[in-house]
Structure 1
């Protein structure tokens, strides 16, 4: 791809490949017998070398060695290449600082996977170096400044499915002035040739996995995960959403089997009103849902949170949304407002999501409003 972001793209793709390697190594250790995964042993991750599951975050999702190791690695790598840029990531070091055993495992996996020297030393000096690097992602960022460049990371999107050896993603986005300009998403278990329906348990039988990437105005692409950026042939994704002119051609992606934060029956009712097969592709992680929309395995999703005080996190959507926009998709919130990525870590100026082909977005939005009113959920439209 020829674009003004060629260097950023090369660095981010190479970083995503190493991040995927880290995730696979941690997952392999977790799933070994005795690793507190699905193996035969009865080991405890708190005492098993490189076991990923050690803590529970405030939102009750598991925190893993891979989350911390990948975020530290991405900040160190992209910060080294682009030292003036800012960073936003899901993790902070507060959990690590209270758990020396977890910190040791993060250091160990980085030494193993992320450029250790010949003597096996870690690429990070010590625990404090890890903490400081991770916490570059929690410093206040002015995303709306015109000249501000901010990298946004989700080191493991879909932690619960990751721990089961199912679909997960590593999300890397570059924002300029709060505007998505670059996306790189690594999907270590997703086939680059995946077709609908795509569910969490559908793992690439070849073991390759894939990377999707996009630069604003230059299209979206998919390629196998292994191989250098210059050597591997990428496939440009067609602007399939531009050709969808009838509701009969809509295909959904949602989170149905493990739904906890959304208004489940509204999502189903919208699909029924539009005569769209439901649930279609069914995925826990938001980044994977944007990926499936970009790949053409779906072209529509709606999401309404159960409460007005529940908002999306920037790392679940920034960059990954650009993939769908680059194939002709339109994305707004439940009120039809554009998604505001300048609001900070939480997208508090938006509520929920409606994504569809440009020509049909208004029909999907109208169907959603009709269903919310019909089910007496007027408070969610305020």
Structure 2
């Protein structure tokens, strides 16, 4: 891909390939080193190792850039056995030409904490955002997950790379948490703002040129009302207003279920690939907000395919307010020319169901 971010893309894809190999080694293990965080969500040894690998690799190439990521190293500092296991995972990839490994366990923790304490900033020229394992709950069940990498320039997404180790490069919809790549490779989807989105198989170091790269057509730019297909999370989360989502789909003539993923990055990937073209997500509580690492970069891939994304109020998504996306409530994504119709339907359904309090 010819773009102003060719080197960044090369480095990020190489790092995601190495991260995918770490995740694939851990997902097959019975003991994934699961730790419960303060918000009761799980984190595994793969989350820690991948966040360290991504940060170290990109810092080595772009030492002035800043980082935001989901994890902190507090659990590693408090648990020497867990720390040793994560450090050991990274040592298995020390000779990989596509990544850079921290020099010591102490530096590994420091780099993880660069992300864990980082925040986006509209004034910052460049900030990388990582979700080392998006969909940890399904990852521990050996189901679908993603590795999400984004680059923000002054708060705006300019690059996205998502590794999807369970999905085949020729995946057809509707895909779900149980969809598996029989080859065991997975796919990587990537794009640069204004230069389109592309997909190819994940391959080992040195074999990248053997994988054909496919440019994703701007399918959402030509979609009609009859083409609408849903991407959502069905029955796995209690944070969304399922009854509203179901009624919106019904009124728009969208068959349920469509693509079904717990991971937000995989939902955006599904939209980018054209496995679906509508996502509606209304949180049950107005104060519930998204987290930047679940969305940044991955959502841009759908926009590169002709999609439009706002929150439930119709506001543009703001990635500059902090680690949580407190300026927005929920998401409405649809083909650009049909977005107003979908958004209007969402508002009608919420008011009719007595949920107008969920609108601004």
Cα displacement string for residues 23-69 of structure 1 (whole angstroms, at most 9, x for unaligned residues): 01111223xxxxxxxxxxxxxxxxxxxx3233111222211000000
Alpha-carbon offset, residue 328 of structure 1: 0.1
Aligned twin of 2:246:
268
Aligned twin of 1:173:
150
Q: Aligned to 1:108, what secondary structure does the other structure show?
A: helix
Gaps of 5+ in 1: 31-50
Aligned twin of 2:175:
198
Following the alignment from structure 1 to structure 2, what is the Cα–Cα distance between the partners of residues 134 and 114? 17
Q: 1:269-288 to 2 correspondence within 5 Å?
A: 269-288=247-266
Aligned twin of 2:22:
22
Gaps of 5+ in 2: none
Normalising by structure 2, report the TM-score.
0.96
Cα displacement string for residues 311-365 of structure 1 (whole angstroms, at most 9, x for unaligned residues): 0000000000110000000000000000001011000000000000011101110
Following the alignment from structure 2 to structure 1, what is the Cα–Cα distance between the partners of residues 117 and 42? 23
Select the residue among 363, 379, 382 that pairs with 2:341: 363
Residue 28 of structure 2 is aligned to residue 60 of structure 1: no
Structure 1 pair 62/53, CA: closer, same or farther in 2 (3 Å)? farther
Contact kept in structure 2, 1:54 and 1:102, CA below 8 Å: no
Q: 1:1-382 to 2 correspondence within 5 Å?
A: 1-30=1-30, 51-115=31-95, 123-141=101-119, 143-145=121-123, 148-227=125-204, 228-246=207-225, 248-382=226-360
Following the alignment from structure 2 to structure 1, what is the Cα–Cα distance between the partners of residues 186 and 135? 16
RMSD after superposition: 1.6
Following the alignment from structure 1 to structure 2, what is the Cα–Cα distance between the partners of residues 214 and 66? 25
Alpha-carbon offset, residue 232 of structure 1: 3.2
Alpha-carbon offset, residue 138 of structure 1: 3.0
Contact kept in structure 1, 2:272 and 2:305, CA below 8 Å: yes
Q: Aligned to 1:202, what secondary structure does the other structure show?
A: coil
Structure 1 pair 355/142, CA: closer, same or farther in 2 (3 Å)? closer
Normalising by structure 1, report the TM-score.
0.90
Following the alignment from structure 2 to structure 1, what is the Cα–Cα distance between the partners of residues 296 and 119? 15
Structure 1 pair 260/2, CA: closer, same or farther in 2 (3 Å)? same
Following the alignment from structure 1 to structure 2, what is the Cα–Cα distance between the partners of residues 320 and 363? 24
Contact kept in structure 1, 2:57 and 2:101, CA below 8 Å: no
